Amino acid sequence: MNILLKQTLTVSVLTTLLTGTAFAAPAEAPPAFIKRVADGLITRLKTDGNALQNNPALVKSVIRENLDPYVDGQAFTRIVMGTYATNQNSTAAQRAKFEQNFRNTLIENYGSAFAKYTNQSYTMRPYKATGSKNPVVTIDFNNKGDKIPVSFQLADHGSQWKIRNINVSGIDLGLQFRNQFAANVKRNGGNIDKAIATFQPDADAAVNKQ
């Protein structure tokens, strides 16, 4: 599989799981919501393709404007921190710090790959409503014969949809990062503050885990 495509999809997927305020009403069908987010991102990539190559600040701006607003960052923090996200094992301040550090790390480490790929296209798989509180919409991203399925798990926040987790090629990213964070806590002797400060999520390892 094209390495650049994997890196780019990893960035698109992972940076989608960051904090922000969404404006999609639940009345909007889940596939329509995901299509709107994907179309907005791809349009921006094509419009600013050349400018993105040597402008890290613009890359961050594109991510924040086109992805952050549609994410349940607190839910993703709980997923990745796992048992360490409970009040008994961490404080609200520690969880907020984790979320902030995680966001910054992903943007810094994978922004360059995200900026290099500007011809992304996709097809949406048929969607069947199940009545679940966490509906899943799957998109197949395409590039020169490669097809990568990406499933977005949504959460209804009363007046808006938000993305709470993503699965890439059958790999649950939230779970993979949870395993990585748990291993980092162990390496730091159970010290949550040190584990949060030193956590470096390995996106390539998560996506390529088979």
Higher confidence at residue 139 or residue 209? 139
182: exposed, middle or buried (Cβ count in 10 Å: 0-12, 13-18, 19+): middle
Q: What is the pLDDT of residues 127-153, one digit of tens each?
A: 988 888 899 999 998 867 788 888 999
* pLDDT value for 23: 46
Half-sphere exposure of 99 (CA within 13 A, CB side): 23
Q: 209: pLDDT confidence band, cut at 50, 70 and 90? A: low
Question: How is residue 162 written in tokens?
Answer: 């938000």
Instruction: Indicate if the pLDDT at residue 210 is higher than 70.
Output: no
* pLDDT value for 96: 94
Q: What is the pLDDT of residues 65-116, one digit of tens each?
A: 887 788 888 888 899 999 999 999 999 999 999 998 887 776 665 555 555 6
Tokens 């993703």: give the residue.
76
- C-alpha angle with apex 75: 79 to 41, nearest 5 degrees? 105
* pLDDT value for 207: 67
Q: What is the pLDDT of residues 154-208, one digit of tens each?
A: 998 777 889 898 888 888 888 999 999 999 999 999 999 999 999 988 777 766 6
Strand, coil or helix: what is 115?
helix
Q: How far is 178 from 172, CA to CA, in rounded Å?
A: 10
Q: Is the pTM here over 0.85, yes or no?
A: no
**Distances in Å between the alpha carbon of 157 and those of 51, 111, 117?**
35, 29, 32
Please answer whether residues 150 and 13 qualify as being in contact, where contact means their C-beta atoms are separated by less than 8 angstroms.
yes
Question: How is residue 25 written in tokens?
Answer: 């009403």
Please answer whether residues 152 and 13 qualify as being in contact, where contact means their C-beta atoms are separated by less than 8 angstroms.
no
* pLDDT value for 20: 44
**Distances in Å between the alpha carbon of 186 and those of 101, 131, 191?**
19, 39, 8
Instruction: Indicate if the pLDDT at residue 9 is higher than 70.
Output: no
**In one letter, which amino acid is 47?**
T
* pLDDT value for 12: 57
Question: Where exactly are the structural domains of the chain?
Answer: 3-197
3-16 helix and 92-116 helix, angle to the nearest 10 degrees: 150
User: Looking at the domain that runs over 3-197, which CATH code has it been given?
Assistant: 3.10.450.710
Q: What is the pLDDT of residues 12-54, one digit of tens each?
A: 555 555 544 444 446 789 999 999 988 888 888 788 877 877 7
